[in-house]
């Protein structure tokens, strides 16, 4: 049994709606199939996906069709009559985090690897539905980044598991260098015929028929800084991804638009009303009237946004308090500490200890 370090990120659609995944996860697939000598039209046609859909950053495709796409490619490329090849394994190894679109950028722009992986976990349900991802610490003290599809109707999922762990490994390599290797790799599917390729690809022992898919690595890596750290970009990507996943009717109220604009602007300091009005192409007076109708002042909107973000950031234990202060638009940690104590009655440090 393992103890949870990060919250489980999962999503299951209600009713009969089929789970989906952002098409960004197939970025570069058409060219990769072509380079392997595969028939692009046949593979995509048999999977029910148009080739021009692959890689679209905001387009969603059915998760079952996405998994079928890679299974079909594995059958046609490098496989034989008995068993499919390792197409997903090698596609994942060359897949770069930036190709994951907003989800990938939210990770590589984080201040350190711990926050990068936490962003992957927390934002995963916006990227892919009916699936779970989490980071846990085992009894041996090692970290496990776990991934699994929950949709029982998707039976063929081996290629997806192998490409997904390859993608996640490359997020860690973005921080630790291209020669980084996990301590172990676990897959839930049985050992395939060409299993030695898996150990060569990950440069690590690989175990099959496991309870879930996972990368195992040392916990001290979580403290390492990300070379592409950009707090403003991280905030923007998180906000955009959450906005994309939250749309229901295609319309949102002005109050939520104002709060979203505030959230994006906070890493640059306190967001002046005039600046937010300019970003939204509205007058300051119209924003104030709309907020007043909702029983809020502009200062209230900033404060409530800061409060909700503060609690979320404090739950990310790898994110230093000084970084949280900057993300919330405070120039000094002391200013954030005073504000948080006023909101909750406890300091940020005490709140984090209580939550942990």
Q: Which residue has the higher pLDDT, 161 or 11?
A: 161
Token pair belonging to 287:
């924003």
Strands 131-137 and 9-11, sheet pairing: antiparallel
Query: Is residue 328 located within the same domain as residue 203?
Result: no
Say how many domains are in the chain: 2
pLDDT of residue 298: 96
Of 27-36, 62-71, 240-249, 332-341, the range with the lowest mean pLDDT is 240-249
| pTM of structure | 0.77
Q: Is residue 295 part of a domain?
A: yes
Query: Is residue 157 located within the same domain as residue 278?
Result: no
**327 within 8 A of 316, measured Cβ to Cβ:** no
Query: Is residue 54 located within the same domain as residue 154?
Result: yes
pLDDT at 355 over 90: no
Give, for 223, the enclosing helix (H) or strand (E): none
CATH, residue 100: 3.90.1520
Of 94-108, 189-203, 235-249, 293-307, the range with the lowest mean pLDDT is 235-249
CATH, residue 295: 1.10.10.60
Question: What is the band of 4 on the pLDDT scale with cuts at 50, 70, 90?
Answer: very low
- Secondary structure tally for the chain: helices H, strands E: 16, 9
DSSP bridge pairs for 136: 4, 144
pLDDT of residue 136: 95
Q: What is the DSSP letter of 112?
A: B
**Which structural domain, as residue segments, surrounds residue 150?**
3-223
Angle at 120 between CA 267 and CA 11, to 5 degrees: 115
Query: Is residue 171 located within the same domain as residue 268?
Result: no
pLDDT in tens, 240-284: 888 776 543 333 468 878 887 888 888 889 999 999 999 888 899
Torsion of CA 340, 346, 349, 352, to 10 degrees: -100
Query: Is residue 208 located within the same domain as residue 328?
Result: no
Mean of pLDDT over the chain = 88
**156 within 8 A of 148, measured Cβ to Cβ:** no
Q: Is residue 242 part of a domain?
A: no
Q: Is residue 190 part of a domain?
A: yes
Percent of residues in the chain assigned helix, strand, coil, to nearest 5: 55, 10, 35
């Amino acid at each position: 049994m393992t103890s949870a370090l990060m919250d489980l990120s999962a999503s299951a659609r209600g009713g009969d709606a089929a789970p989906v995944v952002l098409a960004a996860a197939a970025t570069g697939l058409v060219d990769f199939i072509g380079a392997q000598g595969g028939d692009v039209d046949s593979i995509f046609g048999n999977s029910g996906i148009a080739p021009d859909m692959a890689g679209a950053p905001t387009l969603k495709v059915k998760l079952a069709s996405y998994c079928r796409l890679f299974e079909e490619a594995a059958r046609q490329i490098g496989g034989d009559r008995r068993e499919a090849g390792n197409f997903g394994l090698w596609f994942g190894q060359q897949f770069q985090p930036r190709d994951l679109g907003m989800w990938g950028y939210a990770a590589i722009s984080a201040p350190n690897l711990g926050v990068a992986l936490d962003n992957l976990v927390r934002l995963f349900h916006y990227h892919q539905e009916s699936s779970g991802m989490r980071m846990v610490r085992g009894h041996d003290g090692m970290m496990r980044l776990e991934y699994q599809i929950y949709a029982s109707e998707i039976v063929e999922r081996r290629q997806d598991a192998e490409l997904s762990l390859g993608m996640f490994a490359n997020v860690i390599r973005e921080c630790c260098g291209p020669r980084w290797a996990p301590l172990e790799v676990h897959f839930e599917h049985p050992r395939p015929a060409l299993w030695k390729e898996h150990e060569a690809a990950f440069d690590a022992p690989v175990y099959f028929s496991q309870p879930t898919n996972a990368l195992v690595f040392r916990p001290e890596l979580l403290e390492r800084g990300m070379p592409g750290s950009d707090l403003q970009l991280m905030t923007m990507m998180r906000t955009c991804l959450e906005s994309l996943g939250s749309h229901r009717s295609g319309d949102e109220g002005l109050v939520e638009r104002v709060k979203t604009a505030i959230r994006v602007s906070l890493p640059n300091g306190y967001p002046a009303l005039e600046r937010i009005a300019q970003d939204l192409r509205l007058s300051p007076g119209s924003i104030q009237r709309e907020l007043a109708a909702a029983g809020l002042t502009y200062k209230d909107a900033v404060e409530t946004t800061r409060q909700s973000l503060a609690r979320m950031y404090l739950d990310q234990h790898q994110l230093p308090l000084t970084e949280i202060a900057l993300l919330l638009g405070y120039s000094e940690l002391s200013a954030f500490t005073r504000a948080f104590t006023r909101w909750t009655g406890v300091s940020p440090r005490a709140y984090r200890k209580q939550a942990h």
